[in-house]
Structure 1
Amino acid sequence: MSPTRSIEANTFSIVARCASTGESGVAVASAVPAVGSICPFLRAGVGAVSTQSWVNPYLAVRILDAMQAGSDAQSALDKALAEDGEANLRQVGVVDASGGSASWTGADCTPWHGEAKGRDFAAQGNMLTGAPVIAAMAETFQRTAGQPLEDRLMACLEAAQAAGGDKRGRQSAALVVFGAEAYAKLDVRVDEDPDPIPRLRRTFDVAKAQLLPFIAGMPKRDGGSAFPPEVMDLLLLSPPDRPAGGGSAKP
């Protein structure tokens, strides 16, 4: 069947939930530009989805809608795939708010392709160098239990790339985490780079030191917000003078 309604993103990703905090996240990398703009879909208190191979964003939307209405990850995925006439071209990973996970790889996805899933995570990929890419993500996620979700996801991307990654090469990577709010706790990406995961690591480290304290003080669902003086003082500094540095002091 000739795909007509989507963009092909041959990719590796992990969708995951933190059992301690209830946060959900997606980390993804691919040899296409701006993969973070088309594959990850998250909803606070509901779960996370990565839609890849011949990407169908509406699969992710339908899955999140179904989980919000009470379906678990597997039931939501099954229902959404049943409504997609080109499910054979899709690859999808899902995690729900209870830690249930599900994944699907259509028969016409580009090899090597596969997935691994367990409590709180699903790892998947296609057009990969081989099975070790998926195994590396699964092992890393399980080994890092107890660490912050964003740290675990970043480590999973690094492990997957070290195991081989996308067999075409490297171009973009992204990491998104949602907590209790309707906006992301962390959303970092590298949209075009010959070595995007190390670049993402640098952006990730700077964002953790400089951006996360600010986001933690932003308005909450209950309307409350709090920006401690030390956070305001930090952001008044030139970027190179802040923790983790970065940026430029030049106007």
Structure 2
Amino acid sequence: MTFSLVARCAETGQFGVAISSSSPAVAARCAYARAGVGAVASQNVTDPRLGPRALDLMADGAGADAAIQALQQSADHMAYRQVLAVDGQGGTAIHSGPNSLGIWTQAQGRDVAAGGNLLANDAVPQAIVDGFEAAPGALGDRLIAAMRAGLAAGGEAGPVHSAGMLIVDRESWPYAELRCDWIDDGCPIEAIARAWEVYQPQAADYVTRALDPSAAPSYGVPGDE
């Protein structure tokens, strides 16, 4: 019911996850990232504990591959899970259990890994990786380009209703966390793309507001905070 990617920006060190699904609020259950550590997507009959566990393992020094292997050896019901990880060196790893739903497959490269289940066809994850690798710009721009490429390649077998994008930079909180938890008509990926278009020019300023409010700009709107 889901297709996604995890990625690292080699230039900035940012990590990100982008994800879409026919299920509601997919990013709330499936997207995890930690500044300086990595990013994880945990999907397909989702266990929300797997993302934080993988990030803890990577924070303790494991690479993405070792973290995924540790989950395979210790977590319950991994035959039903699909987990993607990228680490601080750009290493990637993917676990796709044999009980993943429908057409499921995966693809990976340096700094990026993609996977999906209940897909329209098995070319979707590679299209996502190719889209990410070909896209210019900031990490958020590349994540959206990758998801658009996956959708253009067929995406999920049915219509998607939710999407999300999570990016971490240097601080302990997200640099950007944008979600469309449900949409009946229209495309949730495009809803996230529009939210990023609005948010991106202000993202660094919100970090400044947290760290040094006296240096932060005001946008001059009622209730500006």
Partner of 2:188: 196
1:30-49 alignment runs, 5 A limit: 30-49=21-40
Q: 1:173 aligns with which of 145, 152, 163?
A: 163
CA distance in 2, matches of 1:167, 1:227: 50
Is 2:101 the partner of 1:110?
A: yes
Task: Find the structure with the greater CA-based Rg.
Answer: 1
Q: Deviations over 1:180-229 (max 9, x none)?
A: 100011110111113211111111111113x314323133xxxx425656
Give, in whole Å, the separation in 2 of the partners of 1:218 and 1:128: 41
CA distance in 1, matches of 2:172, 2:139: 18
* Structure 1 alignment gaps of length 5 or more: 1-9, 239-251
Q: How many residues align?
A: 221
RMSD in angstroms over aligned alpha carbons? 1.7
Q: TM-score, normalised by structure 1?
A: 0.83
Larger relative contact order (CA 8 Å, sep ≥ 6): 2
Separation in 1, partners of 2:221, 2:49: 42
Q: Which residue of 1 aligns with 2:198?
A: 206
> What does the per-residue CA deviation read over 1:93-137, in whole Å, with 9 as the maximum and x for residues that have no partner?
000111110001110111210111111111000000012321211
Percent identity between matched residues is 34
1:248 maps to what in 2? none
1:124 matches 2:115: yes
More displaced stretch, 122-131 vs 159-168: 159-168
Q: Please list, as runs of the form range in 1=range in 2, the aligned pairs for 1:55-204 lying within 5 A after superposition.
A: 55-144=46-135, 147-194=137-184, 195-204=187-196
Instruction: Tell me how far apart the structure 1 counterparts of residues 54 and 155 of structure 2 sit (CA, whole Å).
Output: 27
2:207: which partner in 1? 216
TM-score by length of 2: 0.93
1:225 and 2:212 aligned: yes
- Residue in structure 2 matched with residue 242 of structure 1 by the alignment: none
Deviation >4 Å, runs of 4+: 226-229
Q: Contact 1:59–1:81 at 8 Å: present in 2 too?
A: no
Instruction: String of CA shifts for 1:152-192, please: whole Å, max 9, x gaps.
Output: 00111111112111112110000010011000111101111
Are the counterparts in 2 of residues 214 and 227 from structure 1 also a CA contact under 8 Å?
no
